Structure 1
Amino acid sequence: MLVPLELAQLSPMLSELSSHDLEVAETLIGVVRFLLIFVAARTLAEVLVRFQLPTILGELLAGVIIGASGLHLLVPPETQAHLSDSFSQLIGGLASIPPDAIPEIYNETFPSLQAVATLGLYALLFLTGLESELDELVAVGGQAFTVAVAGVVLPFAIGTAGLMAIFHVDLIPAVFAGASMTATSIGITASVFGELGYLKTREGQIVIGAAVLDDILGIVILAVVVSVAAGGTFSMAPILKLVVAAIVFVVAAIGLSRTAAPAFDWLIDKLKAPGEVLVASFVILTLSCFAATAIGLEAALGAFAAGLILSGSKHNHAIQQAVLPIVTLFATIFFVLVGAGMDLSVINPLDPASRSALVVAGFLLVIAILGKIAAGWAFVSKQPTNRLVVGLGMMPRGEVGLIFLGLGTSAGLLSPSLEAAILVMVIGTTFLAPVLLRLVLGGNTPDGGDKVDDSVAADPVGLV
């Protein structure tokens, strides 16, 4: 996963170093980062699981502790936080290069770690699609749609109007902040529901379906806002094209689960080389992500769709067993990086400059929570459904919120205080959702919950 740095592209300081020294430093940085991630994540996961809290919370906390808000040992370049001097001195001493050169090497090699984390996210979403009860997902399609629409409209409308009326924020920044509250982190939601044994329940399927639709609607809104803010002309044609593409893509995935899965099974039965199930599954995953990206959708949606396509395979259990170790390793990296990217210094109440941001943040956090919880009551159902669980499942913004925040920052749409407020909203919903779901659901797996084979049911998403 480590890519040797090109000497011609480096700064004068690094270009004076030998390629061997650079390679040693790059390798040491990569090894130490992985060591920090896994030791911190598993230590906190072991602590939290003894308090019957989701292990994903431990992974997020591990990222906060070793990341931009804590020890500065795992610092994503986009946070603008400084790498720990002790880290630089350690690597510099071992690699026999100046410690001042370490931060640049660190930043140049960080994309390789993010690529591994992205693989973990896609594998998790792929596994979520595999574990989805397709008939149930289709059966709750109407409920998922109404939950998704309510979960987008309520926080978007109330948040935007409140920022303009109460805090006198300009139209474009207010609309963007409102749009940043629309999405739901399907990765975090799927992980929590999987741990609690609710992924295959009616509530779990409604939330998963609504989370997919939320991301689509949120991306459409943000694309419009960024385009308008950049001086582009507003046109309905591209927006309608994107919406239609998303609908066709999901419907096609459901249809392929009936037709493509048997062909996949036939191919697997013909292959004899070891690892055929995993390799063939990841070919489908890659093709689905490529197709989603090619038509302007998120690759994450393609990963989930790939799982749906293979959910009808007779090799479903074998695929889950093959994918679980990848999820266990790489999804951990993803969630730790989410925590590491959260800079809590922007909400220091002792800093006078942070107080105005805290007030706005409190407003956004309340609207973000209540808007999603209210969405749990936005559908009609003749069957008993825990609507509070549905609402809480829609709450976490997680990596999706951070992506939207990064988009607004790079486009120059947000003031520092509004950036901080959105960050607090993302952090608050991400950490509160797993805790509140655990409190509401308790530790008992429901009737009709996740009832796959024991080896998988004990750890549905491979994160315990």
Structure 2
Amino acid sequence: MLAAAMPPLLTPLLAEISAHDFEMAETLIGVARFVLIFVAARALAEVLVRLQLPTILGELLAGVIIGASGLHLLVPPDTHAQLSEGFVTLVSGLVSIPPDSVAEIYNESFPSLEAVAQLGLYALLFLVGLETELEELVAVGAQAFTVAVAGVVLPFALGTWGLMALFHVDAIPAIFAGASMTATSIGITASVFSELGYLKTREGQIVIGAAVLDDILGIVILAVVVSLASGGSLDIAPIVKLVAAAAVFVVAAIGLSRTAAPAFDWLIDKFKAPGEVLVASFVLLALSCFTATAIGLEAALGAFAAGLILSSSKHNHAIQQAVLPIVTLFATIFFVLVGAGMDLSVINPSDPSSGSALIVAGFLLVVAIIGKIAAGWAFVSKEKTRRLVVGLGMMPRGEVGLIFLGLGTSAQLLSPSLEAAILLMVIGTTFLAPVLLRLVIGGDKPDDGDKVDDEVAANPVGLL
């Protein structure tokens, strides 16, 4: 929360402000944002806990209330929403700088908050990997692969075809919109499953494995769509290379969980300074995220892989205890920012320009829900499995859907109505999934019959 150094290239507006005033304003804005995030998230989380709903829903709603759709106190620059005049006036009066400079400093410093939020996401996925039973994950690998493929193909095919046939959308925008529905937010799903006690169940392991594979398949589809949109010829070689790199990365993570964990334990036992478990774990987390990014994959996949590698460590419990406070703090920021970036003004029925967007959004939302739920029935298993839980677990698009939307917007592939429709689809699936999962699962805690049994785990089927 320390103020960052002044950027080397300042706009004329900021150049007139002294370094001291700049740092004061930046610090004040940063502290105010943290206070707003945690107070709003905690207040709504307390309400939703009493309603027996997942707390992540409260964090998302908190972001909506204080974000671009509500009070405009937490406004990501890429939403193009105006920061609250009251907030700007307050900061301007406290540090004696022009109001226009407050808004510019706010936007300049926002990436640092997003970086903290990304750390929260990576820590959450790292923790999910740590809590994953490798044998159980591998045992349901075939089912996870089938669910992932069905969960990508069904919404992609139905969405693309529907937009072209029913709404006469051009091929490239329709393909991109279909691709945006293939995503699954592993962060949201993992958080809900963990809170409901379903993370280590057969259903939880299938969904986590499928969500990881969804990310890989989504990246491949995105690469194809961007290549088509650029007008160039579709080069198969980079796509094959990406798929091969993803396969090698996943297999390597599984292999390292059996070989690298003992070496990690030996190293930790040699350290004497306090904090060695947390520091060493985050070094491995950073290296895994770096490796994933370097070969063209999402850093989030690297974070999950790092946790998977250490899942068999004898220090697993100590690592979880060390990482949990970081997840509690920083993952909250991540989910609040997801909610803050959602602009609900696009669903205003009284606005004539929203009419077409609402119709297309309704179609996309239905396809997005049906496509993922149907994936829960797309695998064969002799074990008792709650397939509706699997399908609902695959439903939230969350931050992954927003990333897809942002790429489409920046590439100017989408019309305003189609952009609004995709945003509504992302919002709808993100908010509905936690509620529906809670309703379907109810107050029942999973019993041993829901877990992957030892017999199956002893004869695992590979993930790929």
Letter in 2 for 1:97: I
Query: C-alpha distance in 1, partners of 2:60/2:51?
Result: 16
Q: Is the 8 A contact 1:92 1:98 kept in 2?
A: yes
Asked whether the 8 Å contact 2:41–2:62 carries over to 1, the reply is yes
Paired AA for residue 77 in structure 1: P
Do 1:200 and 1:448's aligned partners in 2 also have CA atoms closer than 8 Å?
no
1:418 aligns with 2:418: yes
CA-to-aligned-CA distance 1:198-242 (integer Å, 9 cap, x gap) = 000000000000000011101110111112111232011111111
- d(CA) in 1 for partners of 2:168, 2:36: 43
In 2, Cα distance between equivalents of 1:318 and 1:274: 13
Check the 8 A contact 2:289/2:302 in 1, yes or no: yes
Q: Is the 8 A contact 1:199 1:205 kept in 2?
A: yes
Tell me, yes or no, if the aligned pair for 1:159 and 1:178 is still in contact at 8 Å. Answer: yes
Confirm whether residue 67 of structure 1 aligns to residue 67 of structure 2: yes
Whether the aligned pair in 2 keeps the contact of 1:389 and 1:440 (CA below 8 Å) is: yes
Instruction: Determine the structure 1 residue equivalent to 2:233.
Output: 233
Q: 1:429 maps to what in 2?
A: 429
In the alignment, the residues of structure 2 paired with residue 429 and residue 439 of structure 1 have an alpha-carbon distance, to the nearest angstrom, of 15
Deviation at 1:443, TM superposition (A): 1.9
User: 1:220: which partner in 2?
Assistant: 220
Deviating 4+ runs (over 3 angstroms): 1-8, 448-451
Q: How far did 1:7 drift?
A: 5.9
> CA offset at residue 10 of structure 1?
1.9
Q: Does 1:80 align with 2:75?
A: no
Question: Matches of residues 14-93 of structure 1 in structure 2 within 5 Å?
Answer: 14-93=14-93
What is the SS of the residue equivalent to 1:413?
coil
User: 1:449 and 1:11, CA in 2 relative to 1: closer, same or farther beyond 3 A?
Assistant: farther
Aligned to 2:115: 115
Contact 2:384 2:449 in 1 (8 A): no
Written as runs of structure 1 = structure 2, the 5 A alignment for 1:152-301 is 152-301=152-301
What's the Cα RMSD here? 1.2
Summarize the alignment of residues 301-340 of structure 1 with structure 2, pairs less than 5 Å apart: 301-340=301-340
The residue that corresponds to 1:461 in the other structure is none
Residue in structure 2 matched with residue 460 of structure 1 by the alignment: none
Cα deviation for residue 17 of structure 1 reads 1.1
Question: 2:53 & 2:448 partners in 1: Cα distance?
Answer: 22
Deviations 1:273-331 (A, max 9, x none): 00000000001100100111111111100000000000000100000000000000000
Read off the aligned partner of 2:261 and give its amino acid letter. A
* Maintained 8 Å contact 2:361/2:424: yes
In 2, are the aligned partners of 1:189 and 1:396 still within 8 Å (CA)? yes
TM-score (normalised: structure 1): 0.96
May I ask how many residue pairs the two structures share in their alignment?
Answer: 451
Structure 1: gaps of 5 or more residues: 452-464
In structure 1, distance between residues paired with 2:62 and 2:36 = 9
Structure 2, unaligned runs of 5 or more: 452-464
Query: In the aligned structure 1, how far is the partner of 2:267 from the partner of 2:440?
Result: 44
Is 1:59–1:339's contact at 8 Å kept on the other side of the alignment? yes
Equivalent in the alignment of 1:103:
103
Work out whether residues 200 and 450 of structure 1, in 8 Å CA contact, stay in contact via their aligned partners in 2. no
Instruction: Output one character per residue of 1:425-456: Cα deviation in whole Å (capped at 9) or x when no partner.
Output: 000000000000000001222113999xxxxx
**Structure 1 residues 54 and 221: alpha-carbon distance in aligned structure 2, compared to 1, 3 A threshold:** same
Instruction: Quote the Cα distance in structure 2 between the aligned partners of 1:208 and 1:388.
Output: 15
Query: For residues 414 and 204 of structure 2, what CA distance do their matches in structure 1 show?
Result: 35
What is the alpha-carbon distance in structure 1 between the residues aligned to residue 436 and residue 78 of structure 2? 30
Report how far residue 99 of structure 1 moved.
1.5
Cα distance in 1 between the residues matched to 2:230 and 2:449: 47
What amino acid is the match of 1:62? A
With over 3 angstroms needed to count, the CA separation of the structure-2 counterparts of 1:15 and 1:449, relative to structure 1, is farther
Task: Describe the SS at the equivalent of 1:9.
Answer: coil
State the distance in 2 between where 1:337 and 1:158 align: 30
Identity %: 84
Query: Relative to 1, partners in 2 of residues 1:8 and 1:385: Cα closer, same or farther, differing over 3 Å?
Result: closer
Q: Indicate if the aligned counterparts of 1:137 and 1:205 stay in contact, CA closer than 8 A.
A: yes
What amino acid sits opposite 2:198 in the alignment?
Y
Contact between 1:117 and 1:334, CA under 8 Å: does it hold in 2? yes
Secondary structure of 1:313 counterpart: coil
For 2:7 and 2:29, locate their aligned partners in 1 and report how far apart those are by CA, in whole Å: 18
